[in-house]
Structure 1
């Protein structure tokens, strides 16, 4: 009797669809399982290849199934979609996952440990508060602009100007408007306090992680970028080289090529927007301060800025940093800047 060789699981909140085949591709199982039945189904079965789309809960299920001895692989949903036959439903989705995971060319999503997910949770929670703070600042600026009070967009300027406006009796604000801005300012201060709390947590993670400290030696990479990258890619073993990691982060050109005509466009912007933003922000600081420095990276950034402009030089530095980060994580060596 044939045994299961490959299983595709379509994950959901309560009901999971599985599609299993043997070595020859013959369908052996196609059924639904409740959440409490999934682990029991695989508990006593021989080791098999299990494919899942990377989504909420996939890393947790992947760890549990790996502990049973199974080979679990997570795939980007966009690479599974071409294998969906006919109508879209749970059964066809599970079959598509089962088919896709057997293909040798399908890129895999790096599996994360509990510690990596904890660090990612810190970053995501902090970014949520930062987004709220940005929206709140925009609202306060808009409300004050309606009363003829304008000031720059800088967050530093907001911290200085709002208390001054509220303290001045001749600011032109009515009692109700002053109370409204005061409540928003109080909310802003609360967000600042919470963001500072997450900053301290991330700093503590950085100080306790040797890989993060090695990565942070790279010019344009700080504690936040280092912890976010290490939480996302681990030791970088899921990528064949640094360019693959840069492509995973969306820092390489999109192609629109045909025949002998190769057309390269702007960066693909694939992968994590948060990681890409951190690398680009760090690279922007490198390019901005490069004219005052004489090290090789700064000289290269200056030449690139003169030829291609500030923004392209920034992305090029971000791409280079992504490749260097991969090399530092894979080799375990300290970063050594070019002399």
Structure 2
């Protein structure tokens, strides 16, 4: 079947009735469609694509994992809406000569002063609209706190998430996102495929026997997970700037920072974390960093 809305439900239904399911990305199936988009042409394309060994199936989630993924997706949307709302308030007030520092507490403090000042240049309708946006931002923060609490409960009760959090730069949100992405370990042939799925490996553009390795792709992979993995890795690097390395992995990170810079080192650490997480899930092992001799 083609991966679309309802795929997980119908896949589970088919598996319960003894069928073997191959769910394929619509982008992969489209390459085999001939003629215009009709139900008949789509069905023929799906049948042809299903016989091609190079067309991989997409991951199928259990009900529990699908519910956890739903919480993660809701959180991502709330974060996007919160950032967009706060940025719009800052940008609008900046045009009136009211620069506001970064941070939610600074924003709410400045809004209180600006809106209570009856002598500034803000019109009444605009002032009320900004007040409405402030209330909306407060509601988004409250809903985000509620989702974070629910996710924290899920993560605390999940043994896999607890193990993954022992990796450098992997917090609760990264742990559950990694678990959902890599939990079906048989979907990947090796750890490099897992890292490529997340999008932390360089893209390749080779021709005529010449291999050309570029940077990581901005359009492919799990962009949300890659972004949070990068932020977690940057946090580790900032801590390493303040102290000596304690493990062989931290020595490796410091060496890359010295040679290539912090951002390249952060992507390299994210890549290694994904590969390590894949090995942990595949072998059922815990993360054991190699400590330096005292």
TM-score strictly above 0.5: yes
Once the two structures are superposed, residues 246-266 of structure 1 have per-residue CA deviations (whole angstroms, 9 ceiling, x without a partner) of: 111111111111123211112
Distance 1:60 1:233 in 2: 20
1:185 aligns with 2:137: no
Question: What residue in structure 2 maps to residue 250 of structure 1?
Answer: 199
C-alpha separation in 1, matches of 2:280 and 2:35: 45
Residue 274 of structure 1 aligns with which residue?
224
How is 1:106-255 mapped onto 2 (pairs within 5 angstroms)?
106-168=55-117, 173-255=122-204
Say if 2:50 is the partner of 1:98: no
Q: Is the 8 A contact 1:112 1:232 kept in 2?
A: no
Summarize the Cα distance change of 1:307–1:171 in structure 2 as closer, same or farther, 3 Å threshold. farther
What is the deviation of 1:65? 0.3
Distance 2:188 2:3 in 1: 17
Structure number with the bigger relative contact order (C-alpha 8 A, sep ≥ 6) is: 2
Deviations 1:204-252 (A, max 9, x none): 0001100111111111111111112222332422112111101111111
> 1:14: which partner in 2?
none
Shift in Å, 1:153: 3.9
Contact 2:198 2:221 in 1 (8 A): yes
CA distance in 2 between partners of 1:78 and 1:327 (Å)? 29
Give the SS at the match of 2:251. helix
Match of 2:19 among 42, 48, 70: 70
SS class of match (1:83):
coil
Residues 165 and 171 in structure 2, CA contact (< 8 A), matched pair in contact too = yes
Confirm or deny: 8 A CA contact 2:164 2:277 kept in the other structure: yes
Report the 3-state secondary structure (helix = DSSP H, G, I; strand = E; otherwise coil) of the residue aligned with 2:271.
Answer: helix
TM (norm. structure 2) is 0.91
Question: Aligned-pair distance for 1:76?
Answer: 1.9
RMSD of aligned residue pairs (Cα, Å): 1.9
Unaligned residue ranges in structure 1 (runs of 5+): 1-51
Tell me, what secondary structure is at the counterpart of 1:73?
Answer: coil
Question: Hey, what does 1:79 align to over in structure 2?
Answer: 28
Aligned with 1:237: secondary structure? helix
Q: Which of 273, 278, 287 is matched with 1:326 structurally?
A: 278
Mark the runs of 5 or more structure 2 residues left unpaired by the alignment: none
CA apart distance, 1:170: 6.0
Normalised by the length of structure 1, the TM-score is 0.80
Q: Which has the larger radius of gyration?
A: 1
2:22 match: secondary structure? strand
What per-residue deviation string (whole Å, max 9, x for no partner) do you get for residues 24-83 of structure 1?
A: xxxxxxxxxxxxxxxxxxxxxxxxxxxx12222111110000000000011222222222
1:338 alignment partner in structure 2:
290
> Which residue of structure 2 lines up, in the alignment, with residue 284 of structure 1?
234
The aligned runs of 1:38-57 (5 Å cut-off) are 52-57=1-6
In structure 2, C-alpha distance between the alignment counterparts of 1:70 and 1:215, rounded to whole Å: 33
- Corresponding residue of 1:6: none
Find the counterpart in structure 1 of residue 254 from structure 2: 302
8 Å contact kept, 2:167–2:273: yes
Secondary structure of the equivalent of 1:254? strand
Question: Is this contact kept in 2: 1:110–1:233, CA < 8 A?
Answer: no
Shift of 1:309: 1.8
In the TM superposition, what is the alpha-carbon distance from 1:182 to its structure 2 partner?
Answer: 1.8
Q: Distance in 2 between matches of 1:155 and 1:287?
A: 25
Q: Is the deviation greater in 226-235 or in 204-213?
A: 226-235
Secondary structure of 1:257's partner? coil
Considering fraction of residues, name the structure with more helix. Answer: 2
